[in-house]
Amino acid sequence: MALVTTAEVCDANSQLIATGELRALQPVFQIYGRRQVFSGQIVTLKVFEDNVLVRELLEEKGNGRVLVVDGGGSLRCAILGGNPVVQAQNNGWAGIVVNGCIRDVDEINGCDIGVRALASHPMKANKKRTGEKHVPITVAGTRIRDGEWLYADTDGILISPNELSV
């Protein structure tokens, strides 16, 4: 989706929007990381105030994918920090979307990866290894399934069941 904005995608795909195939996340996310525009196939993760599975997934090769983490919208601690984001950048992840908080913002903002989160928080998460990988999640009013496609820029975030070509 080089040089095509999410707004242009929406304008060109009104039928997909009408059928619910193309969905926009509610505008609740802050923009972090150096890569403000990113896209890729989605890997889903559901956790709550625990970041062990987040770290494990980001240690895998990203191959241009996007990790979407449903952290339950918790604003009580960060479930993503600088070290895993550096690892994600080095492992070829395109981006990370967190329905929750991050920390180490200055470090994350220096990374060539796209990161979206609700806010930043200095407290770290638990390390109990609880959560579920590759399950359907609901983030920012939208149901998201493992394997779908995410497109993000400064206007917002779109979800599609298929890779889009415009």
Annotated binding site for Mg(2+): 104
DSSP assignment letter at 148: -
Which residues are documented as binding site for substrate?
Answer: 81-84, 103
Q: Which helix (H) or strand (E) holds 85?
A: helix 82-90
The two three-digit tokens of residue 53, written as one number? 């599975």
Residue with tokens 């981006």: 95
Q: Residue 142's closest CA among 132, 150, 134? A: 150
CA distance 32 to 117: 8
Q: How many Å apart are CA 33 and CA 137, to the nearest integer?
A: 23
Q: Which residues are annotated as a binding site?
A: 81-84, 103-104
